[in-house]
Chain A
């Protein structure tokens, strides 16, 4: 056994310890007789009794033990444990639903408590830590997440009927899919438009240094306007345009709705896009460019065959940042009637229905994570010299 691996893994141990504290100390679920009455919290011991609670702590304690003297084998075992615990969370909720929700009350609903949320979050962090310790590939990490996802799907289908989140969804299942579609469309169009504009601006800035200063000043200023204010500022000019330009009105442009949302999104997306593209193109090793020119490549060939391919990973990094940012910002666009998942968030806030807020917020979170992961993987693939 190598000494290196036998030192305690502090990160893993603290994560598991914190999970344990949250699991025991915070509410596991909250149960309300209907949608209007605020729910009452229930700790883990109420979900499964003291014996059940003790049993649920066993894998955590085992994980802590493994983290104390980690070897390769023990780390693998820990990863298995963490994945199993993640997969067990929906089952735990199902158990809570069975034990705590009165079947005589058809309107009764169960919310997920802080204890379970914190456990979910910390266990995911533990999984990331273990993935990097074991240097597993990104793809394998995602594949492992399928296990808890499968468990969640199964539980949702069979046992988790009273889960408030599910009930909110069932009430709006069509709206929900529509909102996801709108959200993705807004983000997609905004990112695509800002990519085209951003690359054009970056090229112009490289060509005319004067444009560079002015361009970055404008983009930086744009970035400092609060998003709500920007939506407000666009309202008047767009309404005027819609009233005076017929084909724009026919297209659906108006002071509220998708048009100002899209404009604002593109405005915000431009800075990261232009900055990354500009820096990417500018920071290609001058020695390489000099060699390319010295070998007799024309300017076009140098750009297409050398500068652009070498800059591509950093440009993709810009697309990644922009996409993640736009996915979040689009939520705010719901306020001016642009649709998307933000609709649920603001409805939920208005009705003090936190589960409805979650119904909007969780998919946004997942979208952002997926976009981040996919574009990150693509960037790795396009690194010079191929993937390592």
Chain B
């Protein structure tokens, strides 16, 4: 869907991005992560030609992006940024309808699409359509930002630290919603962040960048288990990597069927993460947990040994 082939970007003497190659498949959630100034935002903006790349080729669905006019290309891709970039002088409705209007959709269709999106993102149409951005909370504004990016139903969504300015609770809620939205809509997403937890939570493909180069890319679990070098290891959390990995795996992955032994008193639901299970063990001083389903019916058990020992590469 998106292919970067040996792409380099220079600003004068300085090289911001150096010889990176990256392929994002259709429907894949690709997260670029790294410290500030590592070139991740530059990479994102080269994809929609807000920044022109200096060398190499960038293809969208097999076509060179330079074959399109910048505006045409951008109208085909959703774009959401930190601090939302909503137009303060436009209502929520007008903000969301921006790209469809640029594409000259008939007014009626724009209105329907705006209402559809507001409903999709949990914004009551009657309450929010006429409001101005400064009347919204941070989370609401960011929902509008995402709705605006989705407005023309683009196949590709580019997001530059969209949740960077939100409080942790709102951020987590929106991350969950974005993940659910992605599962439903199957967009191809390129997402930039410096928050490793956010990156691990969202990514199908994690791309670690440093000083303009890609240091490692792959599935989050693969990176956690085999970081290419010390930098990647430390960025992924250093000694905390075990916990980060546990946070990505559900309890159901490690549980055993109910054995002949007595059921343990402490319980954990099957779709909780291993990290949560470990936390319960620490908290309750328990070495065994009973795994239950949503109806609180025991379906298996999880021991500390099993939680710790059954790591696939051990």
A binds B: yes
**A295 adjacent to B148 (CB under 8 Å):** yes
Residues of B within 8 A of A306 (CB): 87
Partner of B89, one of A294, A295, A297, A310: A310
A385 to B102, CA, bound (A): 21
**A297 adjacent to B88 (CB under 8 Å):** no
**A297 adjacent to B85 (CB under 8 Å):** no
A309 in the interface, Cβ–Cβ < 8 Å? yes
Within 8 A of A (CB), among B40-75: 45, 48, 50, 70-75
Within 8 A of B (CB), among A336-378: none
**B81 adjacent to A384 (CB under 8 Å):** no
A296 in the interface, Cβ–Cβ < 8 Å? yes
**A385 adjacent to B132 (CB under 8 Å):** yes
- Expressed in whole angstroms, the minimum distance between the Cβ of B12 and any Cβ of chain A is 16
- Expressed in whole angstroms, the minimum distance between the Cβ of A283 and any Cβ of chain B is 13
Residue of B nearest to A284 (CB): B88
Residues of A within 8 A of B86 (CB): 288, 291
B175 in the interface, Cβ–Cβ < 8 Å? no
**A295 adjacent to B75 (CB under 8 Å):** yes
A386 in the interface, Cβ–Cβ < 8 Å? yes
A290 to B85, CA, bound (A): 7
**A291 adjacent to B79 (CB under 8 Å):** yes
Residue of B nearest to A289 (CB): B85
**A294 adjacent to B74 (CB under 8 Å):** yes
Residues of A within 8 A of B79 (CB): 291, 294-295
Q: How many residue pairs at the A-B interface have CB separations less than 8 Å?
A: 68
**B89 adjacent to A385 (CB under 8 Å):** yes
Please tell me the number of chain A residues within 8 Å of chain B, measured between CB atoms.
19
**B102 adjacent to A288 (CB under 8 Å):** no
Partner of A296, one of B82, B89, B99, B135: B99
Partner of B74, one of A285, A295, A310: A295
Residues of A within 8 A of B72 (CB): 296
A293 in the interface, Cβ–Cβ < 8 Å? yes
A287 in the interface, Cβ–Cβ < 8 Å? yes
CB-CB under 8 A for A292 and B87, given A287-B82, A385-B134, A386-B132: yes
Residue of B nearest to A309 (CB): B89
**A384 adjacent to B89 (CB under 8 Å):** yes
**A290 adjacent to B81 (CB under 8 Å):** yes
**B88 adjacent to A293 (CB under 8 Å):** no
Residues of B within 8 A of A293 (CB): 50, 74
- Expressed in whole angstroms, the minimum distance between the Cβ of A129 and any Cβ of chain B is 29
User: Can you add 4 more A-B contacts, CB < 8 Å, to A291-B84, A296-B73?
Assistant: A293-B74, A295-B148, A296-B99, A385-B135
User: Which residues in A have some Cβ–Cβ distance to B below 8 Å?
Assistant: 285, 287-288, 290-298, 301, 306, 309-310, 384-386
Task: In the A-B complex, list the 6 residue pairs whose CB atoms are closest, starting with the nearest.
Answer: A291-B85, A296-B75, A296-B74, A385-B132, A294-B79, A384-B89
